[in-house]
Structure formats: C-alpha cells, structure tokens
Amino acid sequence: EPEVTQTPSHQVTQMGQEVILRCVPISNHLYFYWYRQILGQKVEFLVSFYNNEISEKSEIFDDQFSVERPDGSNFTLKIRSTKLEDSAMYFCASSEWDTQYFGPGTRLTVL
Amino acid sequence: GENVEQHPSTLSVQEGDSAVIKCTYSDSASNYFPWYKQELGKRPQLIIDIRSNVGEKKDQRIAVTLNKTAKHFSLHITETQPEDSAVYFCAAKGTGTASKLTFGTGTRLQVTL
C-alpha cells in the first residue's frame, strides 16, 4: 500500500538557521498538507497546497515558512530562520479527496 | 474557526472491556470526521471516518457515531486488546477538498491485562 514518506526523520539545527523538510506524497494525490505536533500536544494545521499554490494557511504559518513543490514528486517545507519554539514533529499529509494520510514525520530540534 | 474538544484526556480499561471517546465540534459546516490512532513516536494512522450524511459506521471492533444536531461524534472500541493502547485523536474537516483537519486534544487509552 502506498505511503507518504518524509526525510529526514530527525533534524537538529541551531537557532536562526534555515531548514528544509521534505515529503513525497502518495503519487495520485493532488492535495498536500503540513501539520506540526509539539511534544505531548495535539496535531496543528500549518498549510494546505493544491494546484501549485497555497489553499489555506494557519496563523502559525508566518513569513518564516514557505512551501514548494519543486518537481512532480516532492513537497517541501522551508523554515527560513528557526526559533526555539519551532521544535516539534512536522507531519506531511496528502489526500485524493477527504481522507488525509500522514507521513512518519520529521522531528525538528532547534538548539 | 473550527474548534474540536475531546474527552476524556486519559482512559484506562481492562482488556476485553469497551472504550468510548467523545468529541464535539463547533462549525456546523464541517462534514467529515476521521479518527486517528497514534502510537508513541509514530505517524497518526487513520482507523475510521464518518461523513455528515451518515449516523453510524462500524469496522470490526471499532465504531463511530455522529450526531449532527448536537455536533458531537464518538469512537467506540469493543473487546479492547493491549495493542489498542495508544493516543486517539478525533478531527473535523470543513467543506472543500483541501480543507484542513482540526484535531482534538487526544485521548491516551491504556488497556491493562
């Protein structure tokens, strides 16, 4: 069964550095999402993406964040200048219609 | 925006007993309600979902009920097993295919022997 994949599984970075988190959605899916989960808390929506543009974004998704689909398979989340509070698990998800399937996540640790 | 509340935050049951987790939502336009199971350090895994035109759905030991009028939905797990131990999240999705999921705060289910 096809799955969403994400790389890296764990990223450690210094405050102020840029990070790029990568996702490969399920191949026939057209809708892509990023969520984050701070340790022990609920999953929070960041952004949705369809037809090469952002469909919706949350207030968390400020100017430090950007998303891109650089080719036909990858979907990336960039954080330009990381802050301590960006430390979280970042999940990519994709859907064909309503049902969203999640990747294994990237644990981002900002020191 | 949508707000989803989930109760209880922790639930401990004995193996073989039933477990019920309840969620309420605020936006009457929400029309899709999935439940995810998350084991420690793993991805949220879809276990069952229900759409607003259906009142109940069952898949083996798992069932979900939806009351649109009251804006609440519940997850029922019967004959619980130790491998059911995990955190369970409910979510609500608005209209529009690319609409976000709004998650509840999660229920940590512990199934004891």
- Residue A3's pLDDT band, with cuts at 50, 70 and 90, is very high
Chain A residue with CA closest to B96: the answer is A98
Q: Tell me what percent of the residues of chain B surpass a pLDDT of 70.
A: 100
For residue A10, give how far its alpha carbon lies from the nearest alpha carbon of chain B (Å). 11
Beta carbons of B63 and B55 less than 8 angstroms apart: no
How large is the average pLDDT for residues A63-80?
A: 93
Burial of B71 (0-12, 13-18, 19+ CB in 10 A): middle
Size of interface A-B (CB pairs under 8 A): 57
Tell whether the model's pLDDT for residue B97 goes beyond 80.
no
Beta strand segments in B15-106, E: 19-25, 32-38, 45-51, 56-59, 62-67, 72-77, 86-93, 101-103
Interface touch A102/B101, C-beta < 8 Å: no
Tell whether the model's pLDDT for residue B107 goes beyond 90.
yes
Q: What is the reported pLDDT for A72?
A: 78
Q: What is the reported pLDDT for B96?
A: 77
* B82: helix, strand or coil: helix
Q: How far apart are CA B19 and CA B85, in angstroms?
A: 11
How large is the average pLDDT for residues A53-59?
A: 94
Q: Tell me what percent of the residues of chain A surpass a pLDDT of 90.
A: 88
Tell whether the model's pLDDT for residue A70 goes beyond 90.
no
- Residue B54's pLDDT band, with cuts at 50, 70 and 90, is confident
